[in-house]
Structure 1
Amino acid sequence: MTIKIPALACLLLAGFSVIAADNIATLRGDAALHEQGKATALTPVENKDLRRKRNSPMEPPTIPHKIDNYQVDLRTNKCLTCHSRKRAADSQAPMVSVTHYMDRYGNFLAAVSPRRYFCQQCHVVQHDSKPLVQNTFKDIDELLQKQGDPR
């Protein structure tokens, strides 16, 4: 049994070096898995405060401004200083959806639900970059328009 484990380890390491030799494009660049690669630079974050069109009906909206150093932890959520129900009118920022104030049973809460409190688990900042794949999504309004909307 003790002879099999080192042999298995050698086979795994050999497999990793074969994969690394394929030069698969990753954020690490073309560095081997056991080496420190130079990270690929991302495009800068957009800071235009303009909402983007969504690519699918259930896609969470992207964040149209920088959020560097925004504190979001158990005690503080910097996003809610502008996007909460109380502050949205003064800040002219869109209020978080009413679904964020509901618990898992559909009951409305006085504050943002703990399930929806950490904004960046769904929402991301916008980058001005080319799409990696073509998007062919068409929303219902676009489909109805092509079919001669009967409404």
Structure 2
Amino acid sequence: MKLQVLVGISALVVSTTLAGFAIAQSSGSVQSLRSGDLPDTLRAEQVHKQMEGRMKRNYRQQPPLIPHSSSQYQMDKRTNQCLGCHDWTVAGERGAPTLSMTHYLDREGNQLDTVAGTRWFCNQCHVPQANAPELVGNDFQPSNALR
């Protein structure tokens, strides 16, 4: 009885696998979701470079852009390497901007000595500056107060 069941299951697996291969082969080539040709891979010199120095903000309360590479910074639920320079306890001696005091408030508005959990992952608001073309058209104008 057990042998018959194993043979039946094996036959089913083999036939399903072969049918899957046949369907995959007959489906044709991979196409873009945008119905166009897939672009060529960028050559190394066309990769957009990190911009050094601080860029001005375009509106009030805009999170500042990160003026340095952060690709090697560890940021997980236990470690945030950004705080090694930007936490209020060390920012002065490191010459780095201090985090806004809003980063030290919990959801109820209580002042904390450490960065609030809701502000722990810096890259949810802050992005690195890069000299890159716009992906979509943009006609945004800064507010009058910043001109």
Which TM-score bucket, shorter chain as reference? 0.5 to 0.7
Q: Distance in 2 between matches of 1:141 and 1:54?
A: 8
Structure 1 residue ranges (4+ consecutive) displaced by more than 6 angstroms after TM superposition: none
Aligned CA RMSD, in angstroms, stands at 2.5
Residue pair 1:57, 1:139 contacting (<8 A) in 2 also = no
Task: Tell me whether 1:20 sits opposite 2:34 in the alignment.
Answer: yes
The counterpart of 2:138, out of the listed 126, 133, 141, is 133
Q: How far 1:65 moved relative to its partner? A: 0.2
- TM-score, normalised relative to structure 1: 0.65
Q: How far 1:101 moved relative to its partner? A: 0.1
Task: Please tell me the residue identity of whatever aligns with 2:62.
Answer: E
Residue pair 1:51, 1:62 contacting (<8 A) in 2 also = yes
**With CA pairs under 8 Å and 6+ residues apart, which has the higher RCO, 1 or 2?**
2
Task: Tell me whether 1:89 sits opposite 2:92 in the alignment.
Answer: yes
Q: How far 1:138 moved relative to its partner? A: 2.3
Match of 2:48 in 1: 43
Greater Cα shift, 124-133 or 90-99: 124-133
Q: How far 1:42 moved relative to its partner? A: 4.5
Task: Tell me whether 1:73 sits opposite 2:87 in the alignment.
Answer: no
Q: Distance in 2 between matches of 1:123 and 1:141?
A: 20
Q: How far 1:71 moved relative to its partner? A: 0.3
Which digits, 9 at most, give the CA deviation of each residue in 1:35-67, with x for residues without a partner? xx6565651122x2x221112212100000011
Instruction: Give ranges in structure 2 of 5+ residues lacking alignment.
Output: 1-30
Q: Distance in 2 between matches of 1:124 and 1:95?
A: 17
> Which protein shows a greater Rg?
2
Instruction: Give ranges in structure 1 of 5+ residues lacking alignment.
Output: 1-16, 24-29, 32-36, 143-151
DSSP-derived class of the 1:20 partner: coil
* Count, aligned residues: 114
Q: Distance in 1 between matches of 2:71 and 2:110?
A: 33
User: Which of the two has greater helix per residue?
Assistant: 2
Residue pair 2:48, 2:131 contacting (<8 A) in 1 also = yes
- TM-score, normalised relative to structure 2: 0.67
Q: How far 1:19 moved relative to its partner? A: 5.7
